[in-house]
Every structure is written in C-alpha cells, then in structure tokens.
Amino acid sequence: MLYNVFAHTPPKNNASKWHSLIEHLLQTARRAKVFAAAFGARNTGFILGALHDLGKINPKFQLYLRDCNEKRKGKSVPHSICSAALLRHLLMRIDGSDLELAICLNGHHGGLGETGLIVTHGGILDKWWYDPQNKNLKKMMYESLSCLDICTPEPLPKDVFRRELRLRMLFSSIVDADFLDTEKHLSAAT
C-alpha cells in the first residue's frame, strides 16, 4: 500500500523522482532512532519517524501533491493530526500512560502544542479518531503498519521535568530527521 504513494513532489532538477512515502518514513525513522539513542529512546525515535507522515497516505493529500507538481493550486490537506491520532490510539492499546508522545507528531511542522488540548479524552486527536469521515483513512493507515516494523516505545520518565525534557528531545529528533530526509530528496541530482 505505501509503495504507490508519495511524501514529496520531485525536486526541481529531476522532475521524475518523486519521494516515496515508505522511503521517507523509514529513512526518517532510522535517523530519528540514531538521534534518540543518545538519550535512551531509540525505539521511540524510530516509531515517531515511522509514523510522522503516515497521514500523507490520504488520497486527498496525494491529489494535492499532484496538483502542486503540475503547478495547479491544490487544496492543502492536514496530515500530522492523522499520524498523531493513530499513535495515540496505539499507545492507548499498550497502557495509555505515555500519550503525550503524540504531540511530537501532531506538531512536527508547527511546534509542540498543549498536551491537555491534544491527547486527553475529548481532545483534538480523540475527536479526529472518532470522526466517521476518517474511517477509510484510519483503515489505510492500519494496513500500512505492517510495512513499518513498529516496536514498543521506551516509557517516558515519571518525573515531570525529565518527562518534559524527554518529549522536547524526541520532538527535536523527529523534526531534524524529517527535515534532513526531505532536504536530501529535494536537493537530489539526477
């Protein structure tokens, strides 16, 4: 499923080299894993990288990319909230204690948001998850998980200050890994 969808349009110097979504997710995951290993969170780094742009599997987002590539004004489609809602749901299935990890995905383009508004029961991600309009997209994302080799994240520290620092370090890891992989694609020569 992930092999026929894209993360980014081709670079200007190579109009036929689309950035495949699976390649982008796995390369970002590998980088984020290395970055997060420095502070004992390699599995979590990998998970965040592997899921961060999974919402781009949305056919509406794929149409947006094609429109952009053909110089048409496409309608932007949010993707971060989809990935973050999926991560929150997966964490709920484990034990629900580290739901804050989802804010790293939700804000990977715009910055960390307020945990209480995002990951709590009735929060932004909960509302997205239970919106019937998202049923097919959720199914597509779930079906794609088998391609991503998702593992169990390391638990966040219990101490509130260490927990906050860990979240910020993980956020930095995913943002940097995403940026570096996107930059590599967009600056690729023929």
Alpha-carbon distance 26 to 93, whole Å? 23
Q: Mean pLDDT over residues 28-41, rounded?
A: 97
CB 51 within 8 A of CB 22: no
Kindly report, residue by residue over 100-156, the tens digit of the pLDDT: 899 898 877 666 666 655 767 878 889 999 999 999 999 999 999 988 988 889 999
Supply the CATH number for residue 28's domain.
1.10.3210
Kindly report, residue by residue over 7-32, the tens digit of the pLDDT: 888 888 887 888 999 999 999 999 99
Task: Provide the pLDDT for residue 106.
Answer: 86
DSSP for 99-121, written as a single string: TTHHHHHHTTTT----HHHHTST
Task: Provide the pLDDT for residue 9.
Answer: 84
Kindly report, residue by residue over 165-187, the tens digit of the pLDDT: 999 999 999 999 999 999 999 88
pLDDT > 70? residue 189 = no
Kindly report, residue by residue over 54-110, the tens digit of the pLDDT: 999 999 999 999 998 888 887 888 888 999 999 999 988 887 778 889 989 887 766
The two tokens of residue 59 are: 């056919």
Alpha-carbon distance 130 to 143, whole Å? 18
Residue 176 domain boundaries:
5-9+17-186
Which one is predicted more confidently, 35 or 152?
A: 35
Task: Provide the pLDDT for residue 2.
Answer: 62
Lookup result for tokens 């967009």: 186
Alpha-carbon distance 28 to 136, whole Å? 25
Question: Based on C-alpha coordinates, what's the Rg of the chain?
Answer: 16
Q: Which residues of 8-32 are buried (b: 16+ CB within 10 A; e: fewer)?
A: bbbbeeeeebbbbbbbbbbbbbbbb
Nearest to 53 by CA among 43, 42, 41, 65: 65
pTM of the model: 0.91
The tally of domains found in the chain comes to 1
